[in-house]
A = this chain, B = another copy of it.
Amino acid sequence: MIGDRRRATNPLVAKLSRFGPLSQAEIGVLEMLCSNEEQFRAHVDLLNQGDPPRSPFIVIRGMAYRYRILADGRRQILTFLLPGDFCELHTYLFKAMDHSAATLTPGRLAVIERATITTLIARHPRIGAAIWWCSMQEAAIMRERIVGLGRRSARGRVAYILCELVWRQREVGLAEDHAIRLPLTQTDIADTLGLTPIHVNRVLQQFRREGLITLVQRNLRLHDMERLQDLAELTTDYLHLTGIPSEAARYLDGLERL
């Protein structure tokens, strides 16, 4: 179905285009950046807490997640990594990872040299700004997670995570309506939302009974986005998916001409 389209456009280009229109030169540079691909199978660790940081990469295809394992073995999932996401760009500044990451599906990563980034940013200030923009989007998603875990009910949290995943997949062209592939088990969702899988199951059942979603064999469809958003008390604005203010764009164009 949409498999072909996935290969067609580079998800990094798709994502950064949201930031602002890219020049042909910039698109070229970004595609070059993604030339060194590595394949990964499902359920493979990419990063391990305690280990020294590894070189930066960009998710090209497939889905992964960052997580922390606690002393008693319980797990907290921190964020999901989707195609177009930059990872570990600056972790070389840390001595050891404070969390792990693993794949959920088979996928491909583009591995990057640290020095490549440095020169890239020096030569293309707009791409540098776009990278900052991505990292701020990431921070915005973390803030939403904190608000959700701190103050939302189980229903609100489940509604939230479904919306987030649909929106983010749309952002990089992996979905065009309100339906996505959801390669998460109910245990994964529980470990993301600070709940038990049993309770996640009951919330999902109820959503189904209320006609809000269908979820069969990892295929998710949101039937009433508006009501789910209400439950999650979330507006799409909060994730800042829509590009930058025109004033900021003018400022960056100025830098470019220097």
Contacts and interface: CB of A to CB of B under 8 A. Distances in A.
Interface of A: 52, 68, 70-71, 74-76, 78, 90-96, 98-99, 114, 118, 129, 132-133, 135-136, 138-140, 142-143, 145-147, 149-151, 191-194, 233, 237-238, 240, 242, 244-245, 247-248, 251, 255
Contact of A90 (B92, B136, B145, B192): B136
A151 B244 contact: no
Given A140-B98, A150-B149, A244 B194 contact: no
Given A149-B146, A151-B194, A255-B118, A136 B93 contact: yes
Contacts of A99: 143
A71 B233 contact: yes
Contacts of A151: 70, 74-76, 194
Contact of A146 (B94, B146, B238, B247): B146
Copies of this chain present: 2
A143 B237 contact: no
What 7 pairs between A and B have smallest CB-CB spacing?
A150-B194, A149-B149, A76-B150, A142-B142, A76-B147, A98-B238, A90-B132
Nearest to A128: B121
A98 B237 contact: yes
A93 B133 contact: yes
Interface centre among A143, A192, A193 (most CB of B within 10 A): A143
A192 B244 CA distance: 30
Contacts of A74: 151
Contacts of A194: 149-151
Given A74-B151, A142-B142, A142-B143, 12 more contacts: A68-B143, A90-B132, A92-B248, A94-B140, A95-B242, A95-B244, A95-B245, A139-B139, A139-B142, A145-B146, A146-B149, A150-B192
Nearest to A77: B150
A255 to B, nearest CB: 7
